[in-house]
Structure 1
């Protein structure tokens, strides 16, 4: 079940409406030419510059200034990025476009691609072919042949237990693994995630399968636009269907067992507390990738994304500890630090600038980062927040066109608080 929600919620509404239809085409020069899908031992000098030239440079990119806190010195991730989930501003980064094995963080792209295709109540009876080809040693939720699961069950298995068995069943429903890989690659290209080469839908180590901290942040940002995605990635624990057996009266009864989210900033662990404001997203860990993680958290109305890949320090839960430190820095630095780049919108986004910028936005560029208009709403149920998106563009949403100011919405983002 999801973690408890706060008693009150705040909803920011964009009130102006208009129509605009501009399609976005990313300039080919923004990406490194024919980048290799083989991960390099050190960050290459010709990394992609999607999102800004600073993001294509190796090493740490940040704009220190008076009032800007110093980055934590004990972050050892080979690649990381701190960004504003709504405006897309990249506050700081380290080898952001380094193409590395993504492990199960690639499941964010899988979910963003496949989740909209099947209603959550759709039942599916598992056949042996659905579970064929799962990599040895894969994380599993415990799906059994001959049993029937709903799509809702399967997505809980994907997000909470990172179940490769659930991924393969959903891929089978989507036309098979090969078709799903093609769909994911096409969607990655649409999102301008040009560092990503998909080989397996579950993120299992495969030759040539790579992504980057930048691309993983794009996947998270896109997925978080979807209500079901937000629900699944923020669920701490849930009951999962088990075996069917006959009870004392001879009646067939389906049992359940509890599964818990393996995102330790969300569920906590002995050496990692629940991070205040955490609301997802996805973790991963394989031999080639090491530990990888993308998280989203909200504090005082600010929503940040942090992606960290493969810390050199191999302590228990190190990727979560380093992510928490980067979140802490980001919340202190937001509004003070000049961005080093941005998370670009998808190619098909309307009314956005056709060329990603590496320069400052918001007050440093003379453009307000505040919503056009806002209204607060109070309620005892606490349904979360719907934050307006900023930009000089128009977006169509359920048949209406809303004036925005270069921001993406994160409606009903579930806010997490440590348990008392």
Structure 2
């Protein structure tokens, strides 16, 4: 990776105003944990038999492939990912507990569609309902959990829509917890990809539930409808969906080595088609893309000159892991351009933004990240500040 630093003129009034201090130095270093191949892999034309789909890299968040990603469609039981998200959040806040016994209402007992078969006079726990919701896709479990947390499904749905906004799901609106068809109940492949990513990122302790192949409740064993859990050892989730209006839908996540991809297919023709097309997407992503990781969170990216400080250098880096999904064989073409204020003057707080880094591939800017101070630098004493003032005047 080629890394170029561009100090920028400070906005603070200084002697010799108008003088732009430009320091340019270029150095080359090996990318950390990047898999590259000698030649660029030829990417075939991708054809997926689905009304809408997306494929993303979990770590970078980048879309690797898509078709009609923002088309509003019936999400069917993919809705239950948001139901689960709200339940997991309630557990995190200790508003409910896994071993808590939940009363079964008439409404939840009589829910139509897929069920885990809870009964009004049979004790059921939050933990059992979560398993029934995720593995058996139980509509009755969804309503029972919603009533426990919010007193009713309508209030719970409001929480779902508020969380959708926070996650950036701008083309999503829920009217129920189950995914039963309603004219004002919709989402998109893009938005559901955001939701699946959030489940894996925010609740890793509960995500393994999505890889469980079957669950037994009330003497009835039901299999997970995600066939890829049996067909691909790399697949570990996440959710199927079907209604007549939605067609056959599937969100899938698979991990190979340290890479994780997420696919969303909506509106396929059959259970077999949603599995086949999801597998096609995942294979495409793993075969023709690599994940480049030029920097880890809080790794030093540069030591910058700082003036009037208790030290004359400050370590700079990022407040997050920096990951990119690149066509295989392109990682060595990734370049970074650092821009920061010059002169950089103490005091500077740890975590303070002191510049930005633009990442470029083949002349195209692909991302910009804030550059932060990785350490605190206090102001120097009077003598030190005076000496740096003199040196700054002479520069």
- TM-score > 0.5 by shorter chain: yes
Give the corresponding residue for 2:182. Answer: 206
Indicate yes or no: 2:141 matched with 1:141.
no
Aligned equivalents of 1:228, 1:159: Cα separation in 2: 14
Shift of 1:179: 0.8
CA distance in 2, matches of 1:183, 1:362: 41
What is the TM-score with the length of structure 1 in the denominator? 0.59
Match for residue 77 of structure 1 among 42, 50, 55? 50
Question: Relative contact order: is structure 1 or structure 2 higher (C-alpha 8 Å, sep ≥ 6)?
Answer: 1
Residue number in structure 1 paired with 2:250: 293
- The equivalent residue for 1:407 is none
Structure 2 counterparts to residues 256-295 of structure 1, below 5 A: 256-266=219-229, 268=230, 274-295=231-252
SS at structure 2 position matched to 1:293: strand
Structure 2 CA distance for aligned equivalents of residues 283 and 145 of structure 1: 27
Query: Secondary structure at 1:317's aligned position in 2?
Result: helix
1:120-131 matches, within 5 Å, as 120-131=98-109
Q: Give yes or no for the alignment of 1:158 onto 2:133.
A: yes
Matches within 5 A, 1:307-346: 307-311=264-268, 314-335=269-290
1:2-401 matched pairs, under 5 angstroms: 66-73=40-47, 75-117=48-90, 118-131=96-109, 134=111, 136=112, 138-175=113-150, 176-225=152-201, 226-240=203-217, 242=218, 256-266=219-229, 268=230, 274-311=231-268, 314-335=269-290, 365-366=334-335
Q: Secondary structure at the match of 2:290?
A: coil
Give the SS at the match of 2:63.
strand
Secondary structure of the residue aligned to 1:307 is strand
Which secondary structure does the structure 2 equivalent of 1:174 belong to? helix
Show CA shifts across 1:338-359 (max 9, x none): xxxxxxxxxxxx968xxxx999
For residue 127 of structure 1, report the CA deviation from its aligned partner: 3.0
TM-score normalised by the chain length of structure 2: 0.62
In structure 2, the gaps of 5 or more residues are 1-38, 91-95, 293-317, 338-366, 376-395
Q: SS at 1:215's partner residue?
A: helix
Cα distance in 1, alignment partners of residues 290 and 242 from structure 2 = 33
How far the C-alpha of 1:331 sits from its partner, in A, is: 0.4
RMSD: 3.3
Q: Computing the radius of gyration over CA atoms, which structure comes out larger, 1 or 2?
A: 2
Cα deviation, residue 209, structure 1: 0.8
| Structure 1 unaligned residues grouped into runs of 5+ | 1-64, 243-255, 269-273, 338-349, 369-389, 395-401, 404-420
CA contact (8 A) 1:68 1:336 kept: no
Q: Hey, what's the Cα distance between the residues in 2 that align with 1:280 and 1:391?
A: 31
Deviation at 1:68, TM superposition (A): 3.7
SS in 2 for 1:211: coil
Q: CA deviation at 1:120?
A: 1.5
Structure 1 Cα separation of the partners of residues 370 and 100 of structure 2: 37
Q: Distance in 1 between matches of 2:220 and 2:130?
A: 16
When residues 130 and 165 of structure 1 are mapped into structure 2, their CA distance, relative to the original with a 3 A threshold, is closer
For the structure 1 residues 130 and 258, does the alpha-carbon distance in structure 2 shift closer, same or farther, using more than 3 Å as the test? closer
Q: Deviation per CA, 1:305-348, whole angstroms, max 9, x where unpaired? A: 0000112xx345211110001111010112289xxxxxxxxxxx
**Equivalent-residue separation in structure 2 for 1:85 and 1:324 (angstroms):** 16
CA contact under 8 A between 1:237 and 1:261: conserved in structure 2?
yes
Q: 1:148 to 1:294 in 2, by over 3 A?
A: same
Structure (1 or 2) with the greater strand fraction: 2
Q: Give, in whole Å, the separation in 1 of the partners of 2:165 and 2:335.
A: 32
Counterpart for residue 50 of structure 1: none
Deviation at 1:364, TM superposition (A): 5.4
Residue 86 (structure 1) shift: 1.5
Contact persistence 1:167–1:202 (CA under 8 A): yes
